[in-house]
Amino acid sequence: MRIRPAVMLCAALLTGSSLSVSASVAAVASTSPNQEAQAGKQVMPLLMNNMFVLFPGEKAPFIKNSRLMAPLQTMSSIMGWRLEERASGPEKWYNVWPILEDFNSVGGLKEGRDWAVYEGDMGHGIEAEPEYRADELYVPLTPILNGMPGYSYEVRKYGQNNVLAIMDPSYHRLLSEVQDSDVQQPNYPHLLSDPVYPLIPSTLDQRSMTVDGKSMYRLKMNLKQIEVWSKYRVESIDLKLISVSNKGEITTLHKSLPYNEDWEPHSVVFDVPQKAAYVLAQSHYNYKNMKEPIYAAGYPLQAAMAGAMAKVWTKITIFEYLNVEPVSYRIDSNEAVVTVRERAWHREGITDQVKEKLIQSIYELAGGTFPVRVEIEQRSKKPYLSGTITEIDSARRLHIVENKDEDDSAATRQLIGSPVSDLYIHKLNEDAPIADTVLTVGRQVDIWVTGQPVERDHILYAQIAEIVVSKYN
């Protein structure tokens, strides 16, 4: 993890667009473990954009029927959802849509009903009945996310603490109302960081009070310190807190905390001018005599990269959003190499900006950084094979035998090709795509493949990305 210099402030700096009010820091002290039973216990903290997302006091999520229940209205602001309230007589229910999408809605969310409607379809069980608490409808969070495939989530374990990590690697809608560089351009820790986060928030309480004649809100956060067995000496822990009101007003606090050799919990108390709807927290180590530790290379890094890329490779939406197609990935000695290509009918080229966005999406899904290089599969000027279709099997694979000149003594190649999802079929010297109904037995074609063909029993197996019908009336 790249450790950035932080300016340690004893007062919170208000960073809302039209506000300029100072917040005061009341105290920094240690707490005993039995104090975790106080109001605002974070039974499973949320993690988004490398920030812990916490709900104060009575707004804290809870577990019901083995599902994490979260406040729907507040979560809509956090996640980037459009929330619609419907009513019929005394009954009231809610529908939500992800912004930037006109589909993947989850509707019919209602108190006491353990099912919802996914994208206007029939009811789907959501495993726990929504209920009202603290003036909000609490809903089972992960079943709602299951109805919105643009989002991803997983339970991660840091020390003895379970954390629900939520990701939006394609549209980047999470925490969009918080305009802060650490939130909107997250600097993820290194994949081999151990521990990844020095402090895990455990409770967050909020109380209204008067300070110097002004109405304020006092927030108290308890944080568990994770054990570190690093050979590098830890000097201190940097903590960043962002309080967000229900109007999107933010108050930011930076604080340097001592590293407790006995791993005792920390407690931070701070005052903010607006009532917090939720609070973001982020921490990292400061090491003595160095900016960051040197992480292992070789097999430990290769194994971690292989696990991360296997998880990333199932998330096809990150490629769809960038208008690129995944080809392959490989793990080299000290880096992961991802090969992508343009959509078969595109000829504009893949920009460096698209590459950087892809790498950032990979880091978000992996939960950490590692050396990644993006390679572009270029379309060759000449076709991979020119031949005649001899069969179209039940799996829609094309069996093609190479056309050869009579004086060509080389063995005739045979290929079985599976069309890719973005297969581009067109006439010679024309760009307009044509339907695959032109692909019939006896048709002569030029084909371009993607990825590396595999030869078995003298037959080539490949994925076909482009077909030029050279003789078509």
Report how far residue 271's alpha carbon sits from residue 252's, in angstroms, rounded to the nearest whole number.
11
For residue 119, what pLDDT band results from cuts at 50, 70 and 90? confident
Asked whether the predicted pLDDT for residue 21 surpasses 50, the reply is: no
Percent of the chain with pLDDT over 90: 71
The domains found in the chain, sorted by start residue, are 11-287 (no CATH), 299-376 (3.30.300), 385-469 (2.40.50)
Asked whether the predicted pLDDT for residue 233 surpasses 90, the reply is: no
* pTM of the shown model: 0.83
Phi, psi of 462 (to 5 degrees): -150, 165
Percent of the chain with pLDDT over 70: 90
Report how far residue 234's alpha carbon sits from residue 81's, in angstroms, rounded to the nearest whole number.
40
For residue 28, what pLDDT band results from cuts at 50, 70 and 90? very low
Asked whether the predicted pLDDT for residue 141 surpasses 90, the reply is: yes
Q: What's the pLDDT tens digit per position in 387-427?
A: 999 999 999 999 999 998 777 777 889 999 999 999 999 99
User: Span 244-265, mean pLDDT?
Assistant: 91
Query: Which range is least confidently modeled, 20-24, 188-192, 340-344?
Result: 20-24
pLDDT at 16: 34
Nearest to 186 by CA among 360, 357, 371: 360
Count the Cβ atoms, other than its own, within 10 Å of residue 176: 18
Mean pLDDT for all residues in the chain:
87
Q: What's the pLDDT tens digit per position in 49-59?
A: 999 999 999 99
Nearest to 360 by CA among 131, 174, 107, 91: 174
For residue 114, what pLDDT band results from cuts at 50, 70 and 90? very high
pLDDT at 231: 53
Query: Which range is least confidently modeled, 151-155, 378-382, 391-395?
Result: 378-382
User: Span 155-181, mean pLDDT?
Assistant: 94
Asked whether the predicted pLDDT for residue 27 surpasses 60, the reply is: no
pLDDT at 229: 64
Count the Cβ atoms, other than its own, within 10 Å of residue 352: 8
How far is CA 119 from its chain centroid? Answer: 22
Asked whether the predicted pLDDT for residue 78 surpasses 70, the reply is: yes
